[in-house]
Amino acid sequence: MFTGLNHIPVYFLQPLRLFQTYKRQNLRPDLMAGLTVAIILLPQAIAFTLIAELPPVMGLYAAIVGGIVGALWGSCYQAHTGPANAISLLVLSVLLTIAPAGTPEFILAAGVVAVLVGLFQLVMGLARLGMLVNFVSHSVIVGFTAGAGILIIIKQIRHLLGLEFSSYNIFETFRQILTHLPDIHWPTMILGLSTMGFIVLLKKLAPKWPNILISMVITSIMVFLLGLDQAGVEVIGQLPTGFPPLVKLPLFDLEYLSRLATGVLAIGAIGLVQTTAIVRAIAGQTGQRLDSNQEFVGQGLANIAAGFFSGYPGAASFARSAINLKAGAQTPLSAIFASLFVLLVMLTLAPLAAYLPLTALAGVLTITAFYLIDRTEIIRIWQGARGDAVIMLATLFGTLFLRIEFAILVGILLSFAHYLMRTSLPEVFPVTPDESFIHFVRQQPHQLSCPQLGILKISGDLYFGAVQHVEDAICQHLTDHPEQRFLLLRMHGVNQCDFRGIQMLEAIKKRCRERGGDLFLMRLEKPVLDFMKTNGFYDRLGPDHFLTQDHVIGHLFQKVLDPAICIYECNARVFEECQNLPKQTYLTDGPLQTYMPIPEAVNEISPEELHQKLHNGRLPLVVDVREPREFKQGHIPQSQLIPLPKILANASTLPQNREIVVVCRSGWRSARAMCMLQNKGYRQVRILRGGMLAWEAAGLEEVSNN
């Protein structure tokens, strides 16, 4: 009963594996990388918390606890978990549904959301659903982060200008800014803009220096020396010292939790997608093999711990993870060291934050938010597939003008819808050999096609959602090409097939055989072929109808196709086997039709009925219109050989007052001969239904001249 749960303990033993395999020579690079990340993490944690309008200390707690737990239970060696700018904006949107910003209820809800997000992510990991993030389009992340960047910039304007107002949407924010322009606090604005300018300048002149930390230290010193806090410049205030305290959360109030459910799903999903994107990018450089499910478990436990220890939800950070990698981090211990360094600073230097101005943090956030808008990626998506562009724009504008968590879910749903549309509408198109006759390529509209054999490629799975589209496309091709009795399906692009797919193939097989032809399949993937063998379709279609790439056309050309049509009625040379065939189209007064309709049943005679007539004295004239070599291999007793070209050239030698039965290999040449005879005035003409193939299948006697 519990065998499916055997993998769960493995995920929780990740820290044990980490320390058992740790090498002492990695200690120094991990320490240095941790110190480097801590220098960035300290101001970022405070600044990102400002986006969520939570107390700055909560960001530090989330950075410490989330960073340690995420490192211990994650799978990527260089990823760093903690506060993230876009996630912080999403957290603010969710918390505002519970209480106004800054209230005790608002702050308490942040911890509840963190725990719920962590539980969602943990369950996803333990259930091994890490692959689900692959179905969330990259366009959702690009659109959301761009929208979040714009929103963050707009929301920080009031802190940069020293304005006091509240707003809950982009339109109200702009209105309030215009209304309060006369109330700009000039020292605040100058300090904030100076911080932004110094960050940009320092980034150009000394890109390796911690420009954010240096800028914040300088602005704090200016506030202290000039007494700007007394002149109206708003500051953070002294941070509390001590370890992250444990908090009691209302986790059993179901009505309260239901109000947060939608937002929790959005935060959890975006956090996982963002984290997955980061760790994959890092693994692409390091070559590390990742476990998405282990990463989900690590993110889940990190958020649960952050929620219980006075923090708020976070995720892997683009910037800090990249810095950690560049700084030479070898193992997850670098992230643990970074969190411990931040804790050490909190315990010793927290009082210095009393002079850190909010306008400086707003400047930092404005700069970081600007880089969230990936203009290159936006242009690339816009110039690419229309579906991805629609998803990106819908998520971006939804982030700007709707509740953010709703916009995220809309983007994710659009991603799934786009995926379903693409997989349910696989391409089905005719192919033809290339000039070298080695590969098959898409047939162009101007190219001639074989009048007997249609070759279609199916580029997609035959599951219940796609089967109808595939069947419609194949049937449309058969309708457009009624002369093609035989159909070859190239199926190396089909990786999955269900019972609905088998039913579709059965219907196509029936349609082909009703028009006197057959269905053939080639290059099937092993799982698909095994499934067809299991459900009996392999035997019902016939093992000889499953072909490989090598000599497939040669096999059909020699064993299936009608050579008389190739010689006397087809001017195309589609296949390599056609190149050396004699094309004898001079045997009639006018051009031959490449297709004659199959006669109605009234003009047919069954093999059994013909056999009975031949043995009860009512002898019809049996005219075999095949080639001499075919006739010699086996023919109906008392039949007369008159190859189709001779029939078409001169039919006047046949008696007008006697029933004539025309015979060929499968019935196709017979139909042409019958139509020609009827046009010449012959009224008692019938064809052998199914031709010699049907005669042989019925086990009736035949004469061989070999």
The radius of gyration of the chain from alpha carbons, rounded to an integer in Å, stands at 38
Of the candidates 76, 570, 578, 664, the residue annotated as catalytic is 664
| Cα 282–chain centre separation | 21
Interacting residues of 697 by C-beta distance below 8 A, sequence separation 6+: 607, 690
Structure tokens at 281: 């990018």
Q: What are phi and psi of 431, to 5 degrees?
A: -125, 160
Q: What is the DSSP string of 554-604?
A: HHHHHHTS-HHHHHHT-----SGGGTT------SSSSPPPS--PPPPGGGE
User: Which pairing describes strands 486-490 and 518-522: parallel, antiparallel, or unpaired?
Assistant: parallel
Beta strands in 434-525 (DSSP E): 440-442, 453-459, 486-490, 518-522
Q: What is the 3-state secondary structure (H, E, C) of 609-629?
A: HHHHHHHCCCCCEEEECCCHH
Query: Is residue 523 within 8 Å of residue 491, measured between CB atoms?
Result: yes
For residue 371, the surrounding DSSP H or E stretch is helix 358-372
Measured from the Cβ of residue 174, the count of other Cβ atoms closer than 10 Å reads 13
Backbone angles phi, psi at 679, to 5 degrees: -65, -25
**Terminal alpha carbon distance of the chain:** 69
Burial of residue 231 (number of CB atoms within 10 Å: 0-12, 13-18, 19+): exposed
Q: What value, to the nearest 5°, has the Cα angle with vertex 195 and ends 189 and 201? A: 135
* Biggest distance spanned by C-alpha atoms of the chain: 127
**What span, in angstroms and rounded, lies between the C-alpha atoms of 94 and 266?**
9
CA distance 239 to 397: 37
Residue where the block lists tokens 């315990």: 347
Pairing of strands 685-688, 427-433: unpaired
Are 683 and 660 a contacting pair, CB within 8 Å?
no
DSSP one-letter string for 181-192: GGG--HHHHHHH
How many CB atoms within 10 Å of residue 513? 12
536 three-class SS: coil
Q: Which residues contact 29 (CB under 8 A, 6 or more apart)?
A: 327, 328, 329, 330, 334
Give whole-number Cα distances, 257 to 110, 250, 410, 656, in Å.
Answer: 12, 9, 21, 92
Any catalytic annotation for residue 578? no
- Give catalytic residue positions: 664
